[in-house]
Amino acid sequence: MGEVLVSLYVFVLAIFVGFEVITKVPPLLHTPLMSGSNAISGITIVGSLIAAGAEHSGLSTWLGLVAVIFATINVVGGFLVTDRMLEMFKKKDKDGE
Amino acid sequence: METLTYLIYLLSAVLFILGLKQLSSPKTARRGNMLAMLGMLLAIAMTLLDKQILDYTYIIIGLVVGSGIGLIAARVVQMTAMPQMVALFNGFGGGASTLVAYSEYLSRLQDPALGFELNVTITIVLSVLIGTVTFTGSLIAFAKLQGLMKGAPIVFPGQQFLNAVLIVAVIVLGVMLAMDPSLEMFLLVILILSAIIGVTSVIPIGGADMPVVISLLNSYSGLAAAMTGFVISNNVLIVSGALVGASGLILTNIMCKAMNRSLFSVLFGAVGTDDSTGTGGEEQRTVTRYTAEDAVVMFGNAQSIIIIPGYGLAVAQAQHVLQEMAEILRKQGKTVRYAIHPVAGRMPGHMNVLLAEANVDYDLLYEMDDINDDFQDTDIAFIVGANDVVNPAARYKKNSPLYGMPILNADQAKTVMIVKRSLGAGFAGEANELFFDEKTMMLFGDAKKMITDIVRVLKES
């Protein structure tokens, strides 16, 4: 049980870190925050890759393949769309006027 | 090697946290997103070197197909459609968590050496439950936001009872599976029941309440990832999942407060209405109709203007012409700012993105609390496509559903201009007193057409 308890510690502490960090994000950026954190939750791709690559049985590998596709859509789409939005948040150069 | 793998995972987790931290300012936000991307890339690269991976065929197929779909989706999506896009991505994240947990269950079942500790079975069940609810719930949210399904709540008798029964059934099956992990059918039944829970818990939620639901599903997708982390004993999943879970909860809370609803009433109340505005009863009181020319005359005498955009602005696709109007007025030496209510869109922060897309400088976008005290010294409050968020009934009318909701103090400005199609009530069904105030100028018509007219007259004068 030792390892599980350590993981539980990590989980609880990470939630507190999350609260601290996220409360500092201004409402201005809440949509990019959401799509960006969404991409981060695609970290299950790590588990998907192992499931798709380990030769266990037909079914669990197939599930792994679908998991890789889902997680990759989540990761790639999430980060790119966040970048696209953040690029639009610019300060206009007012010297030119 | 194993130590190195875990150190790299730790580095990924640190990069995620630093990335989110840099989202605290628009100046550093883009770099923050890059840092998070780098963290993800490191984690993926390290995993690909893992000795458990024996065959790369499926992995390559999956990565190529997934990247292709993700890339195209991220490129072509319209900013107005961002809520459903995020809902869909959320759903895929949740679905992936379910599949990983399920696949881990099957491989443990095959390989008796791996065995099932109690905590593994429990987290497999939780991962399948949360991941699947996120998946089907997000698909329903997507369908509602995309207009594939009616936005109105779908309710049937005994719905909440059914949900309760389903949840109890999942718990009972989960406990039985924990006691005897070889009951293969049970996990499949848990998955199916979870899929039904996802559907039945999102269909009764109305279109206007979607910001809360998307935020909540965001939180779920994080929790599902964290549970999967417990299943495969990987701390980077646990840390990332916890971060996202916390983020989603914070946003859910902010949205609930801004809409004056408790999470409970959003989830079980089924009071939200369809997306289409102006369905409320038309009042028999008369107001004077003003034209674009009248508005321009008023602008001529004004020094300070605050624009209040609502979702109706985005529906009419009038952001760009609104920005044009604001720029003309600014060049005339007037102070023009935007006041953004937290629920001025279909997801948290949505209106800011829409205006940023229309080239509005983010320094001109003010949060409610930062600008509310300035309305009393403002000449004109220009309201486009917003209704409930400026309804003074929220302050005094105790029996109104709006009572207690934080609103923008538009009524304190010297003149109020409202661009609107009709005098209809907002989502909350509460008539707006502000329309009948004597200092209010109603500019009836489609937002895009009306503002285009104003811009034309401004240019002529």
Residue-wise DSSP of chain A: -HHHHHHHHHHHHHHHHHHHHHTTS-GGGHHHHHHHHHHHGGGGHHHHHHHHHS-S-HHHHHHHHHHHHHHHIIIIIHHHHHHHHHHH------TT-
Tell me the per-residue pLDDT of A29-81, one tens digit each, with 9 for 90 and over.
999 999 999 999 999 999 999 999 887 668 888 899 999 999 999 999 999 99
Question: Domain for residue B274, yes or no?
Answer: no
Shortest Cα–Cα distance, B7 to chain A (Å): 15
User: What residues in A contact B107, CB-CB < 8 Å?
Assistant: 51, 54, 56-57, 60
Shortest Cα–Cα distance, B34 to chain A (Å): 8
CB contact (8 A) between residue B29 and residue A32: yes
Q: Are B214 and B141 in contact (CB under 8 A)?
A: yes
For residue B294, the 8-state DSSP code is: H
For residue B414, the 8-state DSSP code is: S
One domain for residues B118 and B198: yes
Question: Domain for residue B275, yes or no?
Answer: no
User: What residues in A contact B25, CB-CB < 8 Å?
Assistant: 26
Q: How far, in Å, CA of B1 to CA of B347, rounded?
A: 43
Q: Are B322 and B307 in contact (CB under 8 A)?
A: yes
Q: Are A15 and B17 in contact (CB under 8 A)?
A: no
What is the Cα Rg of chain B in Å?
A: 25
Q: Compare all CA atoms of chain B with the CA of A50 and give the residue at the minimum distance.
A: B53
The pLDDT, as a whole number, for residue B274 is 45
CB contact (8 A) between residue B58 and residue A85: no
CB contact (8 A) between residue B65 and residue A90: no
Question: Domain for residue B286, yes or no?
Answer: no
One domain for residues B310 and B365: yes
User: What residues in B contact A25, CB-CB < 8 Å?
Assistant: 20, 23-24
One domain for residues B1 and B98: no
Q: How far, in Å, CA of B448 to CA of B146, rounded?
A: 22
| Positions of B marked active-site | 388
Question: Domain for residue B351, yes or no?
Answer: yes
CB contact (8 A) between residue A18 and residue B59: no
User: What residues in B contact A5, CB-CB < 8 Å?
Assistant: none
Choosing among A8, A70, A90, A97, which should be mutated to test the B contact, i.e. which has the most B CBs within 10 A? A70
Sign of CA dihedral B11, B56, B33, B128: negative
Tell me the per-residue pLDDT of B46-85, one tens digit each, with 9 for 90 and over.
999 988 888 898 999 999 999 999 999 999 999 999 999 9
- What SS3 class is residue B304? strand
Over residues B292-299, the mean pLDDT reads: 92
The pair phi, psi for residue B307, each rounded to 5°, is -95, 130
Q: Are B390 and B354 in contact (CB under 8 A)?
A: no
B357 touches chain A (CB under 8 A): yes
One domain for residues B68 and B207: no
Q: Compare all CA atoms of chain B with the CA of A47 and give the residue at the minimum distance.
A: B100
B70 touches chain A (CB under 8 A): yes
Count of structural domains, chain B: 3
Percent of chain B predicted with pLDDT > 90: 67
Judge whether residue B231 has pLDDT over 60. Answer: yes
User: What residues in B contact A72, CB-CB < 8 Å?
Assistant: 62-63, 65-67, 69-70
Sign of CA dihedral B151, B152, B154, B160: positive
One domain for residues B48 and B154: no
The pLDDT, as a whole number, for residue B200 is 92
B218 touches chain A (CB under 8 A): yes
User: What residues in B contact A44, CB-CB < 8 Å?
Assistant: 93, 96-97, 100, 224-225, 228, 237
CB contact (8 A) between residue B353 and residue A85: yes
One domain for residues B300 and B442: yes
One domain for residues B156 and B180: yes
Burial of B265 (0-12, 13-18, 19+ CB in 10 A): middle
One domain for residues B305 and B379: yes
One domain for residues B441 and B301: yes
Question: Domain for residue B336, yes or no?
Answer: yes
Q: Are B231 and B123 in contact (CB under 8 A)?
A: yes
Tell me the per-residue pLDDT of B137-183, one tens digit each, with 9 for 90 and over.
999 999 999 988 887 888 888 888 898 999 999 999 999 999 999 88
The domain limits of chain A are: 42-88
Judge whether residue B279 has pLDDT over 50. Answer: no
One domain for residues B187 and B161: yes
Which two tokens mark B6? 């875990």
CB contact (8 A) between residue B239 and residue A10: yes
One domain for residues B70 and B88: no
CB contact (8 A) between residue B348 and residue A30: yes
* CATH code for position B401: 3.40.50.1220
Which residues 174-193 on chain B approach chain A with CB closer than 8 angstroms? none
B326: pLDDT confidence band, cut at 50, 70 and 90? Answer: very high
Which of B71, B214, B242 has the CB atom closest to A11's CB atom?
Answer: B242
Q: In what order do the strands lie in the sheet with B304-309?
A: B365-367, B335-340, B304-309, B380-384, B415-420, B440-444
CB contact (8 A) between residue A18 and residue B246: yes
SS (H, E, C) B212-266: HHHHHHHHHHHHHHHHHHHHCCCHHHHHHHHHHHHHHHHHHHHHHHHHCCCHHHH
Q: At what angle do helices B57-76 and A45-53 cross, to 10 degrees?
A: 150
Q: What domain range is B68 assigned to?
A: 1-76
